[in-house]
Each structure stands twice: as structure tokens, then as C-alpha cells.
């Protein structure tokens, strides 16, 4: 009898619950590339910045946009 009580208390005490963070981490990536133009200096540096926020999503990502086919 005492063993069942001890086991029940131990099971409740060992439960771990994740505490959500107040602010999700934000990540930024910058891509630097060379591109051609029709004015001097003809080769210039271009940049693209992508920013995303981490989230606890359980949904499978389904990318969309130009160049992606569903075949």
C-alpha cells in the first residue's frame, strides 16, 4: 500500500513541463552576390536578407512560390 502511494507521488514529482520563452529567437541571413548592370562599373554587389522566427510548430512545411512544381 505504501509503495503505491510512494510511486504515485514520485510519478507526479518527476513530471517535467517545458516553460515557453517570452520571446522566440529571431534569425537573420544575408546573401551577398555579384550581378551585372548596363551602367559602369557593370558588376555590382547585391544583397538579399531573409529573417525568420523560430516557433514550436508541428505542421509539416509546404513550400509554395514560383519555380516549385507539384508534379
What is the Cα–Cα distance from 44 to 68, expressed in whole angstroms? 28
What is the Cα–Cα distance from 51 to 19, expressed in whole angstroms? 25
SS3 category, 58: coil
Residue 62 makes CB contacts below 8 A (sequence gap 6+) with none
Query: Per-residue pLDDT for the chain (71 aa), expressed as one digit of tens each?
Result: 677 887 777 777 776 666 666 777 889 999 999 999 999 989 999 999 998 887 766 666 676 666 655 55
Q: Where are the domains of the chain?
A: 21-55
**pLDDT score at 2:** 75
SS3 category, 29: strand
**pLDDT score at 33:** 94
Q: What pTM did the predictor assign?
A: 0.40
Amino acid at each position: 500500500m505504501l509503495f503505491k502511494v510512494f510511486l504515485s507521488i514520485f510519478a507526479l514529482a518527476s513530471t517535467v513541463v517545458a516553460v515557453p520563452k517570452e520571446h522566440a529567437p529571431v534569425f537573420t541571413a544575408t546573401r551577398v552576390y555579384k550581378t551585372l548592370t548596363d551602367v559602369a562599373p557593370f558588376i555590382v554587389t547585391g544583397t538579399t536578407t531573409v529573417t525568420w522566427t523560430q516557433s514550436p510548430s508541428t505542421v509539416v512545411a509546404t513550400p509554395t512560390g514560383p519555380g516549385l512544381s507539384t508534379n
